[in-house]
A = this chain, B = another copy of it.
């Protein structure tokens, strides 16, 4: 048996496959739980084309619903999309032991509680991925750029699990920022994502510069960002208002691009509307913070959902 921990990836899309590859590079045992891509990955492994080199690997084991594990993993890494129809606690429960550390690499705000409530005794690490990667075919991933993780214990602090896992990711070749305030980091990421992502969907896939350069567009983004800051503050997380300027200037410096939520929408995939926007509005309502701009975007998108 290796001294390196056993990793189980649940939800081996682009994100899960990529970070599994990094831990494989670090010498971990990496297994995956799959549904539709089970046969493909069992036969051919996972192929990853990356600027870091060829990260393709054969998982140590490939599981599907109903299988039983020889031993509970040290870390279970959950990378499924956060969607209303997806019961993440149920996806995790069959695969964990009492000491398994749960690791979430997922977008959004307030997406940990469901798992923390379902598995109150398991350590829980929350991560934000700054990465551009996409699944191009079953078992095939294109890693375009970036890859940094921001990581901390949920709801705050750091523990041995965080330090050990960060060391493994770094050994595998990516940057990790450890944080004692992972929720604050989620709010900082949402400051950009919550305005830009859903708005690009409402605008049927408008890119960043189209959004900013439309008449009233930059003002709307600023108003949405100000609302996110107000909600975060009411929830105990202060962000400096100067971050709005910084985010807009930073966005204008980059080439125009369509964010992942817009791409999912254009590809007919479900979007993480609640994780990125709905939960922010729910927190606003709890604290009675008025968020008319966020609310309008959210409700208009909800009206559209039934039309598919």
Contact = CB atoms under 8 A, between A and B. Distances in A.
Interface of A: 199, 202-206, 210-211, 214-217, 219-220, 223, 292-293, 295-300, 302-304, 306-307
Contacts of A205: 307
Contacts of A220: 295-296, 299-300
A302 B217 contact: yes
A44 to B, nearest CB: 38
Contacts of A297: 296, 300
A298 B293 CA distance: 11
Contacts of A199: 300, 303
Contacts of A210: 303, 306-307
Contacts of A219: 299
Q: Nearest 3 A-B pairs (CB), nearest first?
A: A203-B303, A292-B292, A296-B296
Contacts of A206: 303-304, 306-307
B293 A296 contact: yes
Contacts of A302: 214-217
Nearest to A206: B303
Given A206-B307, A217-B302, 4 more contacts: A206-B306, A219-B299, A223-B296, A296-B297
11 contacts: A202-B202, A202-B303, A204-B307, A210-B307, A214-B306, A216-B295, A217-B303, A220-B296, A220-B299, A223-B295, A296-B297
A220 B294 CA distance: 11
